[in-house]
Every structure is written in structure tokens, then in C-alpha cells.
């Protein structure tokens, strides 16, 4: 990844998203503008740096900046915490305490896999770099797609979201979900700039998806933590799920996702139906032992 080019694109995109009204400018002062968002001189003034210095940043001619400048830029551009960390990875020698990884971690601990299997009423799975699905419980396979049977880039939830027609039917608000997915990939690209599979995935999505090609240059960065998704399952119909995301201790590249539904809701009933379908029939020996206990 060309850090200077990425920095320049990110700053221009972030500047374009902040309106003059966001920083308290009156209507008269921004009625005639040639560019969307803020001007370079306005960002420079807000961040307390010279216009020339900020201009050189947007031209990719500044490789490093102090933490104070980066934090000032983050505040001026109204960056989220995830975007601020991303800016640190591009500009700071310390990267804001975040170390760029050379290799992705794909091995899921057996204890974590066991925990997934013990979640009867929740669809749970582990994602790695590029939204690569590393492990799933049975309900997650039934609810989403059994990515454990896939290989290579086909294991990526991001690829499925953008390129599989079923995903557009599955997510009621597909555009919102897909835009967030693009932003998650942008986050991953900052910590794994030389990851071959990730770059191959981004390249494929750029070629094959008009929406991804539009959203990628906007440099939105997203940390998926919690929220709600509306889905339309092909078997059980409408399911509204709440999701929570947890970092996997000792594995900075891995995140545990847990999908649940509100207690007593039709969505919970739908998940319970899917869960019951995925449970295997009891073994013959177990069935016979139960019959003997019942006196049969």
C-alpha cells in the first residue's frame, strides 16, 4: 500500500465530508464554493498548522507528523475514534500504539470453537482479516452461509456481501451493510497493507462491484462493534438481529461476532427454528438408553 497516496486520498475524502456548518460558519461565508466540504485553509486553521504544511500533507509529501498534530487534524475533520487510529497508522511513527502486522492470524483456539458450539440460541462466528470467516457454530451456518465449506477468497463475508446475489436479498438494508463492509476492509488494509489475499480481495471487488468501486475511494473506516441488522432469511423469513463484537484475547486479528434476537420476538422464534433444524438426531444408543429409563 502506498502510504503517502493513501494519506492524501484519506485527508481529501475526510475534508469533503465536513460541511462549513459543522464548524460554525454562517451561510453567507460559504454560499459560493468550488469544492464540497471544507477548504484546505479552513482545516489548517482549525488544526493550528500552516496552510502550506497541510497542503503538503494532502499532496502526500509529509510522511510523519507529531501526535499533537494528528489529534488536532482528527478533531478538525470530525473523525471517529476508528478513523483517528487509522490516521495514526498513516502518519505517526508510533502508529498511536497500534502495531502493523506482517501476517494474519487464522488459527482459532479449540476452547473458542467449543464456546461457539455451546451457544444454542445465538449465531456465533469468528472473523479474521478481510472478514475471512475462521469458525462458525451450526446456527451461524444456517443463518448466514456455511463458509467453512468454502476455500480461498470465498470464505470472506465481505466477498459474499458484495458478489453473491443472495446477500442482496438477505440484508434488508443491503447498501448500508455493504458500505460498512467496505469501511471494515479499509480498516484492515491499514494494519495489513502487504497482505496478498486482502489486496486480491480488494482488487476483485473493485473490478466486479460498482458500489464497492464508488465507496472505496471515500476512505471511510469502520470498527464493527454492536448494532442491529434487518434480514430476510430464505427459509424463516424476516429476522431482526442484534449483534455484538468482541476482540479475541491474544489474537488481535480476530473478532467474535454474536447474533441474537430480542427475547419473545418473532425473530427469536425464527432463530430457534433454525437451531432445532441444525441439531443432529440423537445417536441410537442414546435413544435406546432413554427408552429404557422411561420403562419402554
One domain, residues 135 and 75: no
Report yes or no on 287 lying in a domain. Answer: no
One domain, residues 44 and 140: no
Q: What total number of domains does the chain contain?
A: 2
Report yes or no on 237 lying in a domain. Answer: yes
CATH number of residue 129's parent domain = 3.30.450.180
One domain, residues 170 and 268: yes
Higher pLDDT, 293 or 211: 211
pLDDT value for 3: 55
Q: For residue 86, give the nearest of 77, 156, 105, 40 by alpha carbon.
A: 77
Give me the residues paired with residue 240 across strands: 230
Chain centroid, CA 123 distance in Å:
18
Report yes or no on 221 lying in a domain. Answer: yes
Please say which residue of 42, 70, 97 terminates a domain: 97
- Where is 124: in which H helix or E strand? strand 123-127
Residue 100 predicted with pLDDT over 70: no
Residue 41 predicted with pLDDT over 80: yes
Residue 93 predicted with pLDDT over 60: no
CATH number of residue 85's parent domain = 1.10.260.40
Torsion sign, CA atoms 137, 140, 141, 145: negative
Report yes or no on 153 lying in a domain. Answer: yes
One domain, residues 252 and 165: yes
Q: For residue 225, give the nearest of 20, 94, 82 by alpha carbon.
A: 82
One domain, residues 150 and 119: yes
Higher pLDDT, 258 or 220: 258
One domain, residues 135 and 270: yes
Give the domain extent around 16. Answer: 3-97
One domain, residues 149 and 274: yes
One domain, residues 184 and 272: yes
Report yes or no on 84 lying in a domain. Answer: yes
Q: What is the pLDDT of residues 147-193, one digit of tens each?
A: 999 999 999 999 999 999 999 999 999 999 999 999 999 888 878 88
Report the alpha-carbon distance of residue 132 to residue 157 in Å, rounded. Answer: 6
52 with 32: CB under 8 angstroms?
A: no
Residue 295 predicted with pLDDT over 50: no
Distances (CA, A) of 283 to 172, 184, 273, 280: 39, 43, 21, 9
Higher pLDDT, 270 or 13: 270
One domain, residues 60 and 181: no
One domain, residues 60 and 141: no
Report the alpha-carbon distance of residue 267 to residue 197 in Å, rounded. Answer: 35
Range with the poorest average pLDDT among 70-79, 106-115, 157-166, 219-228: 219-228
Share of the chain above pLDDT 90, in %: 48
Report yes or no on 288 lying in a domain. Answer: no
Higher pLDDT, 272 or 279: 272
Report yes or no on 34 lying in a domain. Answer: yes
One domain, residues 178 and 268: yes
Q: Classify each residue of 94-113 as buried b or exposed e, where b means 16 or more C-beta atoms within 10 Å of its C-beta.
A: ebbeeeebeebeeebeeebe
Q: What is the pLDDT of residues 228-248, one digit of tens each?
A: 999 999 999 999 999 999 999
Residue 26 predicted with pLDDT over 90: no
Report yes or no on 104 lying in a domain. Answer: no
One domain, residues 85 and 28: yes
Higher pLDDT, 17 or 33: 17
Band (144; pLDDT cuts 50, 70, 90): very high
Q: What is the mean pLDDT of residues 216-239?
A: 89
Q: Phi, psi at residue 259, to the nearest 5°?
A: -105, 125
Chain centroid, CA 51 distance in Å:
34
Please say which residue of 97, 118, 149 terminates a domain: 97
180 with 153: CB under 8 angstroms?
A: no
Q: For residue 6, give the nearest of 96, 81, 83 by alpha carbon.
A: 83
Amino acid at each position: 500500500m502506498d502510504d503517502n497516496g493513501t494519506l492524501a486520498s484519506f485527508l481529501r475524502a475526510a475534508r469533503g465530508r465536513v460541511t462549513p456548518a459543522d464548524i460554525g460558519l454562517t451561510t453567507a461565508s460559504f454560499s459560493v464554493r468550488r469544492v464540497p466540504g471544507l477548504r484546505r485553509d479552513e482545516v489548517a486553521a482549525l488544526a493550528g498548522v500552516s496552510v502550506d504544511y497541510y497542503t503538503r500533507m494532502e499532496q502526500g509529501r509529509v510522511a510523519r507528523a507529531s501526535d499533537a498534530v494528528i489529534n488536532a487534524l482528527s478533531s478538525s475533520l470530525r473523525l471517529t475514534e476508528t478513523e483517528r487510529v487509522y490516521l495514526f497508522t498513516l502518519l505517526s511513527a508510533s502508529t498511536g500504539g497500534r502495531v502493523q502486522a506482517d501476517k494474519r492470524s487464522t488459527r482459532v483456539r479449540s476452547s473458542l470453537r467449543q464456546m461457539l458450539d455451546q451457544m444454542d440460541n445465538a449465531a456465533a462466528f469468528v472473523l479474521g482479516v478481510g472478514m475471512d470467516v475462521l469458525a462458525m457454530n451450526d446456527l451461524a451456518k444456517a443463518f448466514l452461509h456455511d463458509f467453512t465449506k468454502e476455500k480461498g477468497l470465498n470464505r470472506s463475508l465481505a466477498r459474499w456481501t458484495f458478489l453473491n446475489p443472495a446477500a442482496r436479498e438477505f440484508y434488508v438494508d443491503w447498501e448500508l451493510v455493504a458500505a460498512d463492509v467496505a469501511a471494515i476492509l479499509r480498516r484492515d488494509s491499514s494494519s495489513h497493507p502487504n497482505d496478498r489475499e486482502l489486496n486480491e480481495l480488494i482488487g476483485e471487488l473493485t473490478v466486479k462491484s460498482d458500489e464497492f468501486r464508488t465507496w472505496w475511494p471515500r476512505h471511510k473506516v469502520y470498527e464493527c462493534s454492536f448494532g442491529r441488522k434487518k434480514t430476510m432469511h430464505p427459509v424463516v423469513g424476516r429476522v431482526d438481529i442484534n449483534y455484538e463484537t468482541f476482540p479475541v484475547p491474544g489474537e488481535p486479528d480476530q473478532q467474535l461476532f454474536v447474533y441474537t434476537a430480542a427475547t419473545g420476538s418473532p425473530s427469536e422464534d425464527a432463530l430457534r427454528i433454525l437451531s432445532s433444524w441444525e441439531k443432529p438426531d440423537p445417536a441410537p444408543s442414546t435413544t435406546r438408553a432413554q427408552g429404557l429409563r422411561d420403562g419402554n
